[in-house]
A and B are shown apart, each in its own frame.
Chain A
């Protein structure tokens, strides 16, 4: 069974640009969550999607958004990039919303210059 796939693995963007990251969950999993990992703040929850609906949202500005498609694949978008958005963005999938276990992808390393 394939694991969680995140693309691309690495990205370099310029301040002010926007970026879209993609996550394909484990086959059969319908819940996808996104996390931001930085050296200063650690791992922080961004949002969770289930059945194409956002079910939970962390404490991030509106520049961070996401969506989920009918095949459970998810994208997150960050607009008007700031230097502080440089981070490892991790996606996790679970069979259902409220499931107790999450499976993580390898992440997308975003660098904003």
Chain B
């Protein structure tokens, strides 16, 4: 069975400083991994995805994540936080169950950006 653990429920950074949102996963097979962002009262927007190609994945808005199989981690980083980055972030693992795909979501990390 697959699972996702987001290690921090809340992260607070100052504008212009680096962002690190941590994610560990458990999967029976070679998973696909994603980071989604959700702004208040909005749906989820895909930031980036890993699908067994390059282990360092670049996404939108300056975010990137590194897949580390030995550590079963997929941490999300950004060199310099912007006020507009304040939102909730979800780490997601996708496994195929037969012919069906099932997404398993982490519990989310609320990112606060301080001026």
Q: Which residues of A contact B (CB under 8 A)?
A: 4, 6, 31, 33, 35, 42-45, 48, 55-56, 90, 92, 94, 97-107, 109
Whether B94 and A100, one on each chain, are in contact in the complex, defined by CB atoms closer than 8 angstroms, is: yes
Known contacts A98-B96, A100-B51, A101-B34, A90 near B101 by CB under 8 Å: no
B99 close to chain A: CB less than 8 A: yes
How many A-B residue pairs lie within 8 Å, measured between CB atoms? 61
Question: If A42-B108, A100-B94 touch, does A90 touch B44 (CB 8 Å cutoff)?
Answer: yes
Interface size class of B (residues with CB under 8 A): 20 to 34
Query: Does B43 contact A98, Cβ atoms closer than 8 Å?
Result: no
Whether, in the assembled complex, B100 has its beta carbon less than 8 Å from a beta carbon of chain A, the answer is: yes
Residues in B whose Cβ lies below 8 Å from that of A33: 103
Residues of B within 8 A of A100 (CB): 32, 49, 51, 94, 101
